[in-house]
Structures are given as C-alpha cells and as structure tokens.
Structure 1
Amino acid sequence: MVLESKALLQIQKPIATVFEGIVNPEIMTQYFISESSGRLETGKTLIWKFPEFPDQFPITNVRVEKEHLITFVWDPETVVNITLEALPNQSTLVKVSEKGKALNDANIEWALQNTGGWANFLACMKAYLEYGVHLRKGAFDFMRTKV
C-alpha cells in the first residue's frame, strides 16, 4: 500500500491567474516559499527555500501542462501533483496530492503532516490571490532553527 496526502480548495480566480500563481516564483514567494531559482517549467530543476528553514529543497522531475497540471519531486520517495480545474463561475478548483511512501508508522505521520501542509499552501494561495493577504508571514517563525 502506498500513502497519499491530499488537499483541495476552490479559489475565486480564473484558472490562468491560479496557474501563474503556482509556476511564477515572483508570485509564489508572496505566499509559500521565500526563494526559487526559477519558474516551474517542464524539464527544469529548481531550488526552493522557505523562510522558516535554512535548508534548500531541490525540485526535480518538473512537468507542466499549462493551466491543467504541475507535477514535481522534492522528496525522492514521493511525487507532487497539482491539478487545476476551471469552474463555471471563473473560479478554479485546485487539487494537490503527494504520494509514494510505503505504509508504516513514520510514513503515516508524514501523510498527516503533509496533508496539513498542502491545505496550508492552498489557504495561503487563496488569501494572497483573492485578497493580497500574506497569510503565511510569521505563521511558522516558531519553527526556525536556532543558530
């Protein structure tokens, strides 16, 4: 059995706006990451940084289908899939799944944490794209590694 974390949320913006909000690092740094070495594009390898952690996260195996799918690997055991679905009222349904880890106690904890993490990603993206609110700012300062 393979574990999967999932989250979904409707964002009151057209699919083109939501897609750009995910692939464009200038937008994504407003609600999720602190730095990116580039735009999410098929075939690219990127480095992401988060404001809470000193680590750098390599983003590999990137595949992008415009306004439909973004997929990448940032944990060698899992694949992240973000799908977008245009809804009739000019809003977009965003679904995130991350799967690939085997069933065991440690990975059950991973699935629970990542489901919450992806739900947070979606809530922060919604707040920023719809209202310009930086919901993530300061939310995880308690996690900063002490130097």
Structure 2
Amino acid sequence: MKLESNATIQIQKPIEVVFESIVNPEKMTKYFISESSGRLESGKEVIWKFPEFEDKFPTSEIKIVNNNSISFVWDPETVVIITLEELPDDNTIVRVNENGKELNDDNLKWALENSGGWANFLACLKAYLEYGILLRKGAFDFMRK
C-alpha cells in the first residue's frame, strides 16, 4: 500500500495568477521558500532553500502543464502533483498530492507531517495572493535554534 499526503484550498484569484505564483521563484520566495535556483520548467532541475532549514532541496523531474498542473520530485520515493482548477468569478482550486511511500510507521509519520506542510503551503499562498500577508515570516524561527 502506498501512502499519500493531500491538501486542497480555494484561492480568490484567476488561475493564471495562481499558476505563476507557484512556478515563479520571485513570487514563491514571498510565501514558501527563501531561495530558488530558477523557475519551475519542464525537464529542468531547481534547488530550493527554506528559511528554517540549512539543507537545500533539489527539485527534479519537473513537468509543467500551463495553468493546469505542476509535478516534481524532491524526495526520491515520492512525486508531488499540484493541480489547478478554474472556477467562475476568477477563483481557483489548488490541490496538492504527494504520494509513493510504502506504508510503515516512519512513512505514516511522514504522511501526516507532509499533509500539514502542504496545508501550510496552501494557506501561505492564499494569504499572499489575496491579502499580501507573509504567513511564513518568523513562523519557523524556533526550528533554527
């Protein structure tokens, strides 16, 4: 049995704006990561850095379908798939699915933590796009001590 981590949210912005905010590092560094080696593009590899961790995270096997989906690998055992669904009135549903790990105690802990992590990603994206609020700023400083 394979485990999955899932999170979903509705954002009151057009699909093009939401998509660009996920693939563009200038926007993504405002709400999720602190550094990126480049834009998410099909066939490319980028390196992400998070403010609360010393490690850098290679993001590979990137597949982009404009204004529809983004997928990548940053854990060799999993694939992340972000899908966008356009709604009336310039609203967008964003779904994140990360899957692939075998069921065991360690991976069950991973699934629970990652579901919370992806929910945080979506909340930060929504706050940034709809209200210009940077939810991650200072939120994880305690992890660096």
The answer, yes or no, to whether TM exceeds 0.5 is yes
CA distance in 2 between partners of 1:28 and 1:4 (Å): 24
- The aligned residue for residue 123 of structure 1 is 123
- State the Cα RMSD in Å: 0.5
Structure 2 matches for 1:40-79, cutoff 5 A? 40-79=40-79
- The aligned residue for residue 19 of structure 1 is 19
Q: CA deviation at 1:89?
A: 1.7
CA distance in 2 between partners of 1:105 and 1:126 (Å): 32
Contiguous gaps of at least 5 residues in structure 2: none
Structure 2 matches for 1:74-113, cutoff 5 A? 74-113=74-113
- The code of the aligned residue for 1:51 comes to P
**3-state secondary structure, aligned to 2:88:** coil
- The code of the aligned residue for 2:114 comes to N
- The aligned residue for residue 8 of structure 1 is 8
**3-state secondary structure, aligned to 1:27:** helix
- The code of the aligned residue for 1:8 comes to T
CA distance in 1 between partners of 2:136 and 2:87 (Å): 26
Q: CA deviation at 1:20?
A: 0.3
CA distance in 2 between partners of 1:121 and 1:127 (Å): 10
- Aligned residues with identical type, % of pairs: 70
CA distance in 1 between partners of 2:140 and 2:113 (Å): 14
CA distance in 2 between partners of 1:24 and 1:36 (Å): 9
Contiguous gaps of at least 5 residues in structure 1: none
Structure 1 runs of 4+ off > 6 angstroms? none
**TM-score, normalising length: structure 1:** 0.98
**3-state secondary structure, aligned to 2:107:** helix
**3-state secondary structure, aligned to 1:129:** helix
**TM-score, normalising length: structure 2:** 0.99
**Count of matched residue positions in the alignment of Structure 1 and Structure 2:** 145
